[in-house]
Amino acid sequence: MSGLLVLRAGALTTVQDRGRPGLAHLGVPRSGALDAGARALANRLVGNAADAAVLETTLDGVALRARAPVTVAVTGAPCAVRVSGRPAAWGAPVRLRAGAELDVGRAESGLRSYVAVRGGFAVPPVLGSRSTDLLSGLGPAVLSAGTVLPVGGAWIGPVRGAGALGVPGPPSVLVLPLRLGPRADWFEAASIARLLRSPYRVSARSNRIGLRTEGGPRLARRRGGELPSEGMVLGAVQVPPDGLPVLFLADHPVTGGYPVLGVVPSGRPLNAAAQAVPGLEVRFVSA
């Protein structure tokens, strides 16, 4: 029988693709791979379409056994890759024979690694996506040992080496360009100025829903009261009552009642946020 058997699930390994964009009006969160660039690269290496489903690991990787010959690639957070105990390439196509065991090790820098298989992981889609959404519970369950992951047959090109693609490594400082609004007027101007010149740190309470900050100045409001719940978007920087900014990531809720100071544009800044480990310095800069 084909597919990949999960031998070691790791701290948190989920199936992710591009998510479920465009369904917020139905109350469905976006979800999808946090580091979209790493997901797309892993798929390019094995000849898949960019939105094919991959595995997203957190911190300590995953181990899989091939039940039939397959080609895989590991990207995202750099880590040791082994095939049946022998070193294999990170960031390049790797061929697995039937019975071979792929071990994706602990992240050496960054936080999340991505595993693509030629043909994509063919778990059943829910609302057009194979992504696991930790907030809503949509999609496949978080991986556990003994799970068999089916492999699809849809690829669009040859396997290829990363070559000179210029893949950025995990950041040493997370710099987040911030476009102020729509609720910047809820905060004192001096407080926003301090935000834009002061360092924060990534909190250990961060997850796929949001990157929480600590260690920096707390934002002071210029007006009291609370907002009615309003729509939230990927990259929104919401400020809860403790005054410390929270950057919404892929599993963010579709509505929220705390004011949104600004928005971090999607792309490289949010990909970098996906690899930000607790304690990493965070800087907000005006976009």
Q: What is the mean pLDDT of residues 25-32?
A: 93
Question: Rounded CA gap, 218 and 221, in Å?
Answer: 10
- Please tell me the predicted confidence (pLDDT) of residue 165: 52
In which residue are the tokens 């909190």 written?
Answer: 203
Instruction: For the domain made up of 4-149, give the CATH fold.
Output: Jelly Rolls (2.60.120)
Question: Rounded CA gap, 160 and 146, in Å?
Answer: 31
Q: What is the pTM of this model?
A: 0.95
Spell out the residues 6+ positions from residue 117 whose beta carbon is closer than 8 angstroms to its own.
4, 46, 54, 70, 71, 72, 151
Q: Over pLDDT 90: what percentage of the chain?
A: 89
User: Rounded to 5 degrees, what are φ and ψ at 199?
Assistant: -80, 145
- With contact defined as beta carbons under 8 Å apart, do 264 and 176 qualify? yes
- With contact defined as beta carbons under 8 Å apart, do 251 and 209 qualify? yes
The dihedral built from the CA positions of residue 196, 279, 38 and 262, taken in this order, carries a sign that is negative
Token reading at 252: 């963010």
Considering just the CA atoms, what is the radius of gyration of the chain in Å? 20
Is residue 163's pLDDT more than 90? no
- One-letter amino acid of 161: G
Q: What is the mean pLDDT of residues 163-180?
A: 79
Is residue 167's pLDDT more than 80? no
Q: What is the pLDDT of residues 59-98, one digit of tens each?
A: 999 999 999 999 999 999 999 999 999 999 999 999 999 9
Residue 164 — very low, low, confident or very high, per pLDDT cuts 50/70/90? Answer: very low
Torsion of CA 79, 82, 85, 86, to 10 degrees: -110
Of 234, 235, 222, 210, give the one whose Cα is nearest residue 183: 222
DSSP 134: T
* Domain residue spans of the chain: 4-149, 173-286
Is residue 170's pLDDT more than 90? no
Question: Rounded CA gap, 187 and 196, in Å?
Answer: 13
Q: What is the pLDDT of residues 230-239, one digit of tens each?
A: 999 999 999 9
Question: 173-286, which class in CATH?
Answer: mainly beta
Q: Over pLDDT 70: what percentage of the chain?
A: 97
Question: Rounded CA gap, 70 and 4, in Å?
Answer: 9
Q: What is the pLDDT of residues 172-203, one digit of tens each?
A: 899 999 999 999 999 999 999 999 999 999 99
- Please tell me the predicted confidence (pLDDT) of residue 23: 93
Please write down the long-range contacts of 105-108, taking CB distance under 8 Å and 24 or more positions apart.
105/60, 105/61, 105/79, 105/80, 105/81, 106/59, 106/60, 106/61, 106/79, 106/80, 107/57, 107/59, 107/60, 107/61, 107/77, 107/78, 107/79, 108/77, 108/78, 108/79, 108/80
Is residue 169's pLDDT more than 80? no
Question: Rounded CA gap, 71 and 164, in Å?
Answer: 21
Token reading at 287: 């976009």
Q: What is the mean pLDDT of residues 217-224?
A: 94
Question: Rounded CA gap, 243 and 118, in Å?
Answer: 45
Is residue 162's pLDDT more than 90? no
Please list the alpha-helical segments (H only) found in the chain.
36-46, 189-195, 268-274
The dihedral built from the CA positions of residue 267, 91, 61 and 158, taken in this order, carries a sign that is positive
Q: What is the mean pLDDT of residues 268-276?
A: 95
Average confidence score pLDDT of the chain? 94
Spell out the residues 6+ positions from residue 148 whose beta carbon is closer than 8 angstroms to its own.
1, 3, 4, 5, 6, 67
- Please tell me the predicted confidence (pLDDT) of residue 106: 98
- Please tell me the predicted confidence (pLDDT) of residue 224: 83
- Please tell me the predicted confidence (pLDDT) of residue 155: 81
Residue 166 — very low, low, confident or very high, per pLDDT cuts 50/70/90? Answer: low
